[in-house]
Amino acid sequence: MKAVIQRVSEASVTIENEKVANIGAGLLILIGIEEADTTEDINWLVKKIANLRIFGDENNVMNKSLLDTKGDAIIVSQFTLHASTKKGNRPSYIKAAKPTTAIPIYEAFVSEFEKTIEKRVQTGRFGADMKVALLNDGPVTIIIDTKDKK
């Protein structure tokens, strides 16, 4: 799994002119799923993201996590995170999981994230043409790949 985590002051997802997700301060999490992803990847990534100390403390030092701040989150599935640009100019998405594999993993990730932060998580809609708006706070953007746990 690959994740792009953005600390936001606000974020939203709109599908066909309907706002389906909208948060204030928190995280916008873009998730790319590949065929080889497992429950172990879900659990490791959820724990890592929920505990990332990327929010300011009383001294404005990045020392607090989403769990500490009780911030909100939007999770959006994004197969293009697995784009390969090695050959030519048209990206290949061969590593991205097919919907039959990706949807259950995505849903499990969202469910595990909700359990971990003990609150409802907003989402986009798998496979939809989404318009994602955000005000990146910092900017703070972190990229994590479960296949590279360094």
- Tokens in use for 22? 């909208």
Cα–chain center distance at 15? 18
Given a contact cutoff of 8 angstroms between Cβ atoms, the answer to whether 96 and 32 are in contact is: yes
- Tokens in use for 131? 């318009």
* 25, 48, 100, 134 from 22: Cα distances, Å: 10, 23, 27, 10
Is 146 an annotated catalytic residue? no
The active-site residue, picked from 80, 101, 123, 141, is 80
Q: Distance (Å, rounded) from C-alpha 136 to C-alpha 11?
A: 8
Radius of gyration, alpha carbons of the chain: 15
Q: Which residues are catalytic?
A: 80
